[in-house]
């Protein structure tokens, strides 16, 4: 029995499912989860000391790759001075100023510890600011495990949402309207019916939790116009896309200015940190200056802030995102070429340093289309690549990530390995 298998069996005795986040359990793809012990650059090593080219990158934060020397040095320097104070630090001001400078829509920002906390707080803030209760979200977009956001669509286009998790009260879910991503007509219909009640629309500008789905032309501008017209708050959930797809995040890439933005992953440089920010008049509704309460003992943790500052400094280097985007496209275009060469039904796309792989004829544009991908084909591909030392996300419905540490050697090896696997079909 491998060390990975031993660890998984032992973990199930003390941790529900043996994991501390569900997708890690490999339930979607089957098999035994990989327990990692080390990461460096574009590579990770498991408990059996097998190495892999890593295209998960801790689900997005590691845009520089694992254990970047400057990030590790910054963490070490901060940790020597104390792990937490529960009080303001100068570094918090520094990263807040930097986020406001880099993201044009953010005039004020508050630091928190997770993407879930950021989204939950942004929703509460939007409700407090507007005095309204109803929110709109989109099927397949994930905004953390807050009760109001763990909601799936009802049986009709404009039925109220239903809980997608046990433990979520039906009355909480009923305040959320769940619509199809990329369906602007559905959003307009919802506003026509509930406009005066809608506090906010929350959306992943590039969806990354039902695999990667890019916005159709006009979808994001349409959301902006509808929210402006009806006095609702437009929230871009950029926990995943923030500083992943460009220096001004997805909102800069698509030229849209939301009212509030949630950030996470990259801004923590691999440490648990997130943030939400936006228009000053909305942010001023937060305690202690306003009536919307939000707090956190470890918010702005000095070690996490140090990792984030070091990361954000490095991604500002000239040409950083051009190189990252080119590398990611080389991966997806090479995979498509290899698959078509051997008659495999497959497509792929990239946005900045994110990518999606789909075992279907055309790129999906909605949750339903994403769910129509051939899961069995993906699962077989995943395990074959894993066996050969290439680690993709263990689910057909999660985006992948390329880091600045990935280069020609890693991409070439990945493509050669994939072609061998496609050739078996």
Active site residues: 142, 237, 265
Specify the pLDDT at position 159.
Answer: 41
- Res. 156: pLDDT tops 50: no
Q: DSSP letters of 366-381?
A: SHHHHHTS-HHHHHHH
400 shares a domain with 345:
yes
Share of the chain above pLDDT 70, in %: 96
Residue ending a domain, choose from 250, 284, 315:
315
User: Chain-wide mean pLDDT for the chain?
Assistant: 94
Q: Are 211 and 204 in contact (CB under 8 A)?
A: no
Specify the pLDDT at position 202.
Answer: 97
**pLDDT tens-digit map of 319-341:** 999 999 999 999 999 999 999 99
Distance, CA of 203 to CA of 142 (rounded, Å): 9
213 shares a domain with 157:
yes
Residue ending a domain, choose from 266, 286, 315:
315
238 shares a domain with 189:
yes
Share of the chain above pLDDT 90, in %: 90
**CATH, residue 402:** 3.90.1150.10
> For the chain, how many structural domains are there in total?
2
Q: DSSP letters of 245-306?
A: S-TTHHHHHHT---SEEEE-GGGGBTBS-EEEEE-HHHHTTBTTTSSB----TTTT-HHHHH
Q: Any idea which of 142-146, 192-196, 286-290, 311-315 has the lowest mean pLDDT?
A: 142-146
333 shares a domain with 184:
no
Residue whose tokens read 């290439």:
390
206 shares a domain with 98:
yes
**pLDDT tens-digit map of 287-324:** 999 999 999 999 999 999 999 999 999 999 999 999 99
**CATH, residue 249:** 3.40.640.10
- Beta bridge mates, 46: 36
Distance, CA of 203 to CA of 365 (rounded, Å): 14
Residue ending a domain, choose from 315, 330, 345:
315
Q: Are 346 and 340 in contact (CB under 8 A)?
A: yes
- Beta bridge mates, 151: 163
In this prediction, residue 158 has a pLDDT band, given cuts at 50, 70 and 90, of very low
133 shares a domain with 198:
yes
384 shares a domain with 299:
no
Specify the pLDDT at position 157.
Answer: 39
Bridge pairing between strands 176-179 and 134-138: parallel
- Res. 90: pLDDT tops 50: yes
258 shares a domain with 177:
yes
Domain that holds residue 191: 71-315
**pLDDT tens-digit map of 221-235:** 999 999 999 999 999
98 shares a domain with 53:
no
Distance, CA of 19 to CA of 391 (rounded, Å): 18
Distance, CA of 221 to CA of 334 (rounded, Å): 32
138 shares a domain with 173:
yes
Q: Are 382 and 44 in contact (CB under 8 A)?
A: no
79 shares a domain with 45:
no
346 shares a domain with 221:
no
The predicted model gives 400-418 an average pLDDT of 98
SS3 115: helix
Give phi and psi for 198, each to the nearest 5.
-85, 115
Q: Any idea which of 23-32, 273-282, 348-357, 414-423 has the lowest mean pLDDT?
A: 23-32
Give phi and psi for 312, each to the nearest 5.
-65, -30
Cα 219 versus chain centre, distance? 19
Distance, CA of 63 to CA of 403 (rounded, Å): 5
SS3 170: helix
* Number of residues that make up the chain: 425
Cα 242 versus chain centre, distance? 8
């Amino acid at each position: 029995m491998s060390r990975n298998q031993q660890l998984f069996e032992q973990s199930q005795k003390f941790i529900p499912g043996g994991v501390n986040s569900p997708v890690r359990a490999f339930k979607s793809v089957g098999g035994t989860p990989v327990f990692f012990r080390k990461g460096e650059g574009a590579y990770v090593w498991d408990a059996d000391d097998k190495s892999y080219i890593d295209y998960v990158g801790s689900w997005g934060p590691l845009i520089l790759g694992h254990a970047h020397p400057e990030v590790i040095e910054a963490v070490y320097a901060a940790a020597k001075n104390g792990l937490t104070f529960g009080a303001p630090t100068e570094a918090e001001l520094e990263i807040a100023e930097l986020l406001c400078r880099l993201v044009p829509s953010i005039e004020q920002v508050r630091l928190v510890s997770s993407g879930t906390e950021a989204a939950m707080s942004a929703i509460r803030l939007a409700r407090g600011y507007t005095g309204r209760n109803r929110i709109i979200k989109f099927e397949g977009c994930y905004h953390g495990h807050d009760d109001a956001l763990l909601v799936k669509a009802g049986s009709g286009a404009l039925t109220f949402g239903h809980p997608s998790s046990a433990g979520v009260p039906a009355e909480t879910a009923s305040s959320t309207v769940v619509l199809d991503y990329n369906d602007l007509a559905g959003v307009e219909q919802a506003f026509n019916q509930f406009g005066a009640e809608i506090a906010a629309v929350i959306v992943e500008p590039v969806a990354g939790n039902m695999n990667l789905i890019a916005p159709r032309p006009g979808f994001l501008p349409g959301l902006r116009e509808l929210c402006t017209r009806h006095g609702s708050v437009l929230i871009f959930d950029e926990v995943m896309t923030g500083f992943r797809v460009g220096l001004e995040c997805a909102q800069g890439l698509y030229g849209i200015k939301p009212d509030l933005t949630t950030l996470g992953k990259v801004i923590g440089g691999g440490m648990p940190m997130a943030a939400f920010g936006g228009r000053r008049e909305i942010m001023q509704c937060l305690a202690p200056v306003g009536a919307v309460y939000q707090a956190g003992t470890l918010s702005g943790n000095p070690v996490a802030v140090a990792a984030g500052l070091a990361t954000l400094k490095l991604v500002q280097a000239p040409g950083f995102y051009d190189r990252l985007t080119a590398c990611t496209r080389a991966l997806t275009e090479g995979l498509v070429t290899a698959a078509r060469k051997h008659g495999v039904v497959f497509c792929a796309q990239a946005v900045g340093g994110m990518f999606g792989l789909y075992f279907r004829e055309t790129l999906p544009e909605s949750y339903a289309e994403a769910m129509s991908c051939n899961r069995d084909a993906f699962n077989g591909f995943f395990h074959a690549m894993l066996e050969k030392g290439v680690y993709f996300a263990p689910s057909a419905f999660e985006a992948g990530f390329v880091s600045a540490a990935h280069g020609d050697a890693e991409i070439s090896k990945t493509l050669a390995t994939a072609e061998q696997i496609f050739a078996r079909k």
